[in-house]
Amino acid sequence: MILRWLLASYAHQMTRQKIQETVAQAWQQVSGEPVARRPADLPPCDVALVLSTEVEAEGLAKQLEGKVTTRCATFVEHAGRWCDRQVVIAECGLGAAAAERATADVIAIHHPAWVVSAGFAAALAGHLRRGHVLMADRVIDSDKREWTVGLQLDPAVLAEAKGLHVGRLLSVDRLVHDPAQKLALGQEYAALACDMETQAVAQCCQREKVRFLSVRVISDAVDDRWPPEIEALLDQRSWAGKFGAAAGAMWKRPAWVKDLLQLQEQAELASNRLAQFCAGVIPQLER
């Protein structure tokens, strides 16, 4: 989860999310109609991938043929062809509420055959390393409500797939960055990794009776630690506090900017790894 909270991406995404919410509210007040409407000339959508941030979606969006990007009310959409499928990539914003709103609107607008909750996740078990992939067969939230994905892979295929894991994914409502806390969550919930959105996407798909999958690339392992400046930045509740912490960090240790650049490089690698794996998954999904 560390890579998703790079300062630049965080500020950019939050600003975008506020604009989307304002547009949605304004449209509903003026027209009295819900925002999600499907134009008649849209091609059928085979697969919709819901991701939180531009950082996570970048590697996938680059794969689209004839890509068209649209700023919708609750998400930013990239639509095009990929792996002989009509694909929509939706950047929904951070957290469960944003993921639920965007998933509901994507389903209402595009009627996809499949919805995939994709992006980064933090490992909760020591054998998951950075760059590994988790395909969830179950999703659980912090209240221990559980959704079964129904994913079944041949054990022989799983054994041959280096770095691929199948198991339970935990969705949490807060950042998890302490190694001891990661291990404790993994043991309490019998989960291999955690994110902040998949539960909301799974719940929406269950309600709308749309087929669902989850694909998460591990962006930070259990023993990965954040630079102290990043931890101090994210512990701040207000924007003034966040920017104050950033300015203070640059004054005390200017080299911490290098840490941000390294994290950005890691994020690009993780996004490309996610795209590479999804390129093998999408062609296997029924239309």
pLDDT recorded at residue 200: 97
pLDDT recorded at residue 274: 96
pLDDT recorded at residue 246: 57
pLDDT recorded at residue 262: 78
pLDDT recorded at residue 275: 96
pLDDT recorded at residue 134: 96
pLDDT recorded at residue 12: 46
Domain boundaries, the chain: 2-284
The two structure tokens encoding residue 222: 């259990």
Sign of CA dihedral 182, 186, 192, 193: negative
pLDDT recorded at residue 287: 75
pLDDT recorded at residue 56: 95
pTM of the model: 0.80
pLDDT recorded at residue 3: 46
pLDDT recorded at residue 256: 61
pLDDT under 70: residue ranges of the chain? 1-43, 152-159, 227-257
CATH of domain 2-284: 3.40.50.1580
